[in-house]
Structure 1
Amino acid sequence: MSEADRVPAVVSAPAGLPDRLGAAVCVVDERGTITSANAHAQRLLGRDAAGLVGRDAHEMLHRDRHGQPLAKAQCRMTEAFLARRAKVGVGWFERGDGSLVELSWLVAPCDPTSDHADTMVIFTDPDRGSDRTDLPTATGSALPELERLALLAETTTQLTSTLDSEEALRRLVRLVVPRIADWAVVDLITELDEVERAIVVHCEDGALVAREELQGPMPPVPQESPMPLSRALRGAASTLVTPQTYQGPPDSGIAIEQQRLFEATGMGSAAIAPIRGVRDVIGALTLGRSEHREPLTAADLSLLEDLTRRTGLALDNARLYQRQRKVAETMQRHLLAQLPSVPGLQMAARYLPAPDDSQVGGDWYDAFTVADGTTALAIGDVVGHDLDAAAGMAQVRSMLRAYAWTRHEPPSAIVHRLDGSMTHLTGVTMATLVFGNMERTVEGTWRLTWTNAGHPPPLLITHDGRARYLTDGHGLLLGTGLEPVRREARLTLPPQATLVLYTDGLVESRDRPIDDGLDQLRKHAASLAHRPLTAFTDLLLERARPVGKRNDDDIAILTLRTPAKENAEGICECD
């Protein structure tokens, strides 16, 4: 059942109710025209009542993430208006000053006494944080029904929009403190069946403050203890708690920690509920109020149970995602090659998965010695960001190795063979690749011969700090269905030169064009030319990415350095 189906199909909206709610509320008629907007909505949308009432809600407010008008056929909120069905969602809205704001919304049809089919829209800000001045004000009584529904809808939206369990818990705390309670405590059962107090947070002068000294590992859960937290961590029903509950002789170590918690926080009342996943109990959520507020009641227990059900599903999904991701990363790391030991050459390689994609992708590197004694080098990227891409990468890599070992042909001919067979023998549709070989000349220098199938160009850095991209030998990517003539290039590398092969995740991101990334990579590589190869590789991986941001895509990088030799010059020959 969807969250929309759980929201009552009709919400009664007595006259003046929107102004009494502590939330941003607009009422829209059957034509989609705004008929009223309370003061909270006016502040959130940056428009006064005169700028809202009588205007078409969709035409004035609804936008896509780029600020462009949104077609009514694509608008889930308009769909809810017309169908007169309850629905929740997140969307972009244009404020009075032209700026965009992303808001969570709950649409609930009203049951007015007139003949008009009005609909109530409750807006909330999904990015509300501890540093905001518009945190919900603390109240002593249970939430009104509409505000309760809005809170549950916002909880569902926020918790299901992240697969990071720590972020999900931070969002949960921001939603309930201080709206419901002054304190929020989360105890989690780890995959090793140990208990950890992951969060202790309270509201202080309008800000959320973590009490880290109260967090950390907890004693084990006793199987027979009747104490509320122990029962909750075993999956028992939610319970109302007071400081007197833990004033008697403690029956376990976890009860001692609860005594310490109540003494340190000064909570006058609390409610504890289990956080249940699909199969197991994941932990427990404790909400506490200080003594100057009205105690929590059975009505609050019902709301707490609704919140923990949503939290349990979100944490269960996050843990499943993390387990799958760990398996995928482990598989890919085992599939990536061990670098060979080649006398006279230094080599290093790194692989960094994207932290926010569903799973690992098809980025890969390879280096191996072939039958004629040369050293083959490869860097590639199979289209996709999932286990299929990782499996396809392994297939392409194996085929490339087989062709290189059995066919004593130049790199361009090997890649041509791979292109002709890849789509027939693997599930890979498209891929990019740089493939080449390194051979020692009779003069004692090292010559690189390579071909490029639609991949970012290799970067060469000389020992004196000059860096340039090797743009020769470039051709179409693999899997186009065409039969392009594969070009190749040759270059005798200078002594103590560093060659960098990399995938596009190192130089391209959602907010940075690849040309800017290539320029940054060249500058950082030049500045690191004198560093030992291992340090060079690690620092380049760290510095070439956007400052303060995580990589959007997987990154593979293979570096190679030639030995020192006097009076050697780099001479490039291109076919």
Structure 2
Amino acid sequence: MRSADGLLEVGFMRAVFDNLGAGVFVVDTTGRLTSCNPRAEQLLGRRKEQMLGHDMHDLLRRRRDGDTIPRSESGPLTVLESDQPVEGSEELFLRGDGSLVPVIWAATPLRHEGRPEGAVIVFHDFSLHRDAAEQTAAYLAALEGLTARLTMVAEVSKVLISALDTPEMLNRLAGLLVPDMGDWVAVDIRTAEHSGEMRRVTVRTTGDQEAAEALTGPLPSLPESSRSPAVQTLRSAEPVFLDAHALAEQPDSPLASAHRDLFDRLGGSCAVVVPLHTRRQVFGALTVARVAPDASYSEAEVFVLADIARRAGLVMEAAELSEQQRHVAEIMQRQLLTPLPQVDHLTLAARYRPAESAAEIGGDWYDSFLLSDGALTMVIGDVVGHDLKAAAHMAEVRNMLRALAWDRTEPPSLVMRRLDEAMTHTSDAPMATCVFARIEGPEGGPWQLRWVNAGHPPPLLVTTDGHARFLEGGHGPLLGLNSALHLGLSWPDSYADLPPRSTLLLYTDGLVESRTRDIEAGLAMLRRHAAALADRDVEDFLDELLERIDPSGDDVAMLVLRTPEAGVGAGDEEAPPQHAHSPAAANRGAPGSRVEDTPVRDTSEPA
């Protein structure tokens, strides 16, 4: 069995199977044996080929006289009906030579992604205990040991898979190992792959936790050379066992002294230092120590700890690669967030907020530019996917739309049709949603919106008196479907007047939809807050919307337009300053042609 991220693999399961000192069975939901460990074969005198595929009840369960037991009689397989852990000791299993072996057992439901997959049954030979007192003590100890080990395995798996960030994962992992594997645990990591700088991120103990936390923080740099075994493990990526003799040696570097300080403050007669690593690099070291004078670590325990640390290293590497991907995607998106044009007293503003998770970043974009006939465009879109590839596809679709819109003067519906065909025949970009609009009208107004909507949340129009309505027209299929599937559908052009001092908002679904709120509730919230902010300037309008709605999870793009008072801009003798490279410079005098670049703010930290 392995998790979706591959965090529990054959090596780890072998360590659990081989070193519990007990037999382990895995059964499916019908009770058929699907897996067993070597200890199970030894205890039952049967090869696994003779057991796998057979019904466990029919194959193994017997009465003392050798007769079969009715299936309705309680036993390990009741776990399949109750879906709760069960345990017991009054059970006899049939060995391969026909003899019976008394066992104690514990059965735990096996679930994967919320679905029942069967059960895990752990059992131990109970025949070695001759008298009742010895049987009772061994029974309790065995059950406690089995339960604790199974619980730790399950919890370690959960922590490695579900922790939100690396420090949280390491802190929770250290807490799980205390006191099962040691009286205290410390985690030291390198702060950068090619840097010798070190930091102690967590110390967990069964004793004074406040004193343990005082030991966290920056550490001396990793020395170029050192005889200290604890320091050597960071160089060699090999586990090290520290006994009393090793702990008595004088440290030969500041980092070794900082490691020795753990034992001086927290005590310890022995310890295991295992590297947090992958094949590519060593991220740090995990130290697990026991305090009792006669304490020690078995070879199996060292192996399990080393394997856990390696799994943690894989998670750290995945987090590092994910953050690098997020950084690249953010840079790519920011490079595409070009300055916004300002045309004839029309005011534009935009915001982009990256996703909280690197797994969510990707396909949202906005755009605005002048067309060859002097009309102003507004675009908002979202390419399917949430990763670096989605960001690349977004750039591809955005640039195709810019080129097609400039290429010829035609209504938005025809631009959408050509974009859909271009995506199908010249690009591997997947489906996308998009609103493409033209702002049309003479200098000074009145202004009109002409748009199409390819499966995107509708634009929101807010008048100066606080009335807000969604513009539901212009809907057509998602981009990437119509031409590919020969659906014969179209994108109808829609029109709406833009009253003086009105506010037009285009946005992506991350603003109105989340895992905790459906899109209908999100749209209602957006309309309510936008209406209340109708009198704010466009910059405050966007900032307040983000603060009030507080979107989470997906990335968010927003583009807003504010029209001027009626007549403002008509008859102006002087046009606003123009850049020589702007489209308006080649179309001076055309309606809507005066332009200046307005910088765009996004709500994230600079890359």
- For 2:35, the equivalent position in structure 1 comes to none
- 1:264-288 Cα offsets, whole Å, 9 max, x none, are 4455654322222112211111123
1:517 aligns with 2:519: no
Match of residue 387 from structure 2: 386
Deviation at 1:417, TM superposition (A): 2.3
1:410 CA drift (Å): 2.0
Whichever residue aligns with residue 382 of structure 1, its letter is V
Given residue 385 of structure 1, which amino acid in structure 2 is its aligned partner? Answer: H
Post-superposition shift, 1:458?
0.8
In the TM superposition, residue 510 of structure 1 has moved relative to its aligned partner by 3.0
Q: 2:533 aligns with which of 517, 528, 531?
A: 528
Question: In the alignment, is residue 308 of structure 1 matched against residue 326 of structure 2?
Answer: no
Give the whole-Å Cα distance in 1 for the aligned partners of 2:73 and 2:519: 43
Task: Point out where structure 2 has 5 or more consecutive residues left out of the alignment.
Answer: 3-7, 25-50, 62-71, 85-107, 128-140, 570-607
**Which whole-Å CA distance do the structure 2 matches of 1:12 and 1:215 have between them?**
37
| Deviation of the 1:369 alpha carbon | 1.4
Residues 398, 229 of structure 1: CA spacing in aligned structure 2 closer, same or farther, 3 A cutoff? same
What runs of 5+ residues in structure 1 fail to find an aligned partner?
Answer: 16-27, 37-49, 63-85, 95-103, 115-139, 569-575
Cα distance in 2 between the residues matched to 1:486 and 1:416: 7
SS of corresponding position for 2:341: coil
Is the Cα–Cα contact under 8 Å of residues 250 and 256 in structure 1 kept in the other structure? yes
Count how many residue pairs are aligned between Structure 1 and Structure 2. Answer: 479
| Equivalent of 1:503 in 499, 508, 520 | 508
**Residues 5 and 532 of structure 1, relative CA distance in 2, 3 Å threshold:** same
Equivalent residue, structure 1, for 2:327: 326
How far off is 1:315 after superposition?
1.8
The aligned counterpart of 2:548 is: 543
Give the Cα separation in 2 of the matches to 1:450 and 1:554. Answer: 24
Query: For the residues of structure 1 that align with 2:111 and 2:402, how far apart are their CA atoms?
Result: 49
Q: What RMSD in Å do the two structures reach over aligned CA positions?
A: 4.3
Quick one: distance in 1 between partners of 2:280 and 2:368? 45
Cα-to-partner distance string for 1:424-455 (whole Å, 9 max, x where unaligned): 12213422111102245344444322221221
Instruction: Tell me if structure 2 keeps the 8 A contact 1:165–1:319.
Output: no
Structure 2 distance, partners of 1:209, 1:105, is 43
Aligned amino acid, residue 517 of structure 2? R
Alignment partners' CA distance in 2, 1:373 and 1:490: 18
Residues 293 and 462 of structure 1: is their aligned pair in 2 closer, same or farther, counting only changes over 3 Å? farther
Please give the alpha-carbon distance, in whole angstroms, between the structure 2 residues aligned to 1:155 and 1:230: 26
Residues 90 and 484 of structure 1: is their aligned pair in 2 closer, same or farther, counting only changes over 3 Å?
A: closer
The 8 Å contact of residues 203 and 216 in structure 2, kept in 1 or not, is answered as no
List aligned pairs for 1:159-558, cutoff 5 A.
Answer: 159-160=160-161, 164-189=165-190, 190-203=192-205, 213-235=214-236, 237-241=238-242, 251-267=252-268, 269-289=270-290, 291=291, 295-299=295-299, 300-356=301-357, 358=359, 360-481=361-482, 482-545=487-550, 550-551=552-553, 553-558=554-559
Give the secondary-structure state (helix, strand or coil) at the position aligned to 1:197: strand
The structure with the larger Rg is 2
Determine if contact 2:200/2:217 at 8 Å carries over to the other structure: yes
Cα deviation code 1:173-208 (max 9, x no counterpart): 232123222322211112351434252232468x98
Q: Counterpart in 2 of 1:107? A: 120
In structure 2, C-alpha distance between the alignment counterparts of 1:213 and 1:111, rounded to whole Å: 43
Give the TM-score of the pair, scaled to structure 1.
0.70
Residue 506 to residue 276, structure 1, CA distance change in 2 (3 Å):
same
Aligned counterpart in structure 2 of residue 58 of structure 1, from 65, 80, 84:
80
Answer whether contact 2:445 2:567 (CA < 8 A) is retained: no
Amino acid at match of 2:274: A
Distance 1:105 1:204, change over 3 A: farther
- Structure of greater relative contact order (alpha carbons < 8 Å, 6+ residues apart): 2
The 1:54/1:271 distance shift into structure 2, 3 A limit, reads closer
Q: 1:561 to 1:105 in 2, by over 3 A?
A: farther
TM, length-normalised to structure 2: 0.67
Tell me, in whole angstroms, the C-alpha distance in 2 between the residues paired with 1:54 and 1:261: 45
User: Hey, which bits of structure 1, 4+ residues long, moved more than 6 A?
Assistant: 9-12, 32-36, 86-89, 111-114, 207-210, 242-249
Q: Which amino acid aligns with 1:201?
A: V
The answer to whether the 8 Å contact 2:240/2:274 transfers is: yes
Identity of aligned residues (%): 42
**What is the CA-CA distance between 1:401 and the residue it aligns to?**
0.9
Asked if the contact 1:498–1:559 (Cα under 8 Å) also holds between the matched residues in 2, the reply is yes
Residues in 2 aligned to 1:32 and 1:519: alpha-carbon distance in whole angstroms: 57
Is the Cα contact below 8 Å between 1:377 and 1:436 reproduced in 2?
A: yes
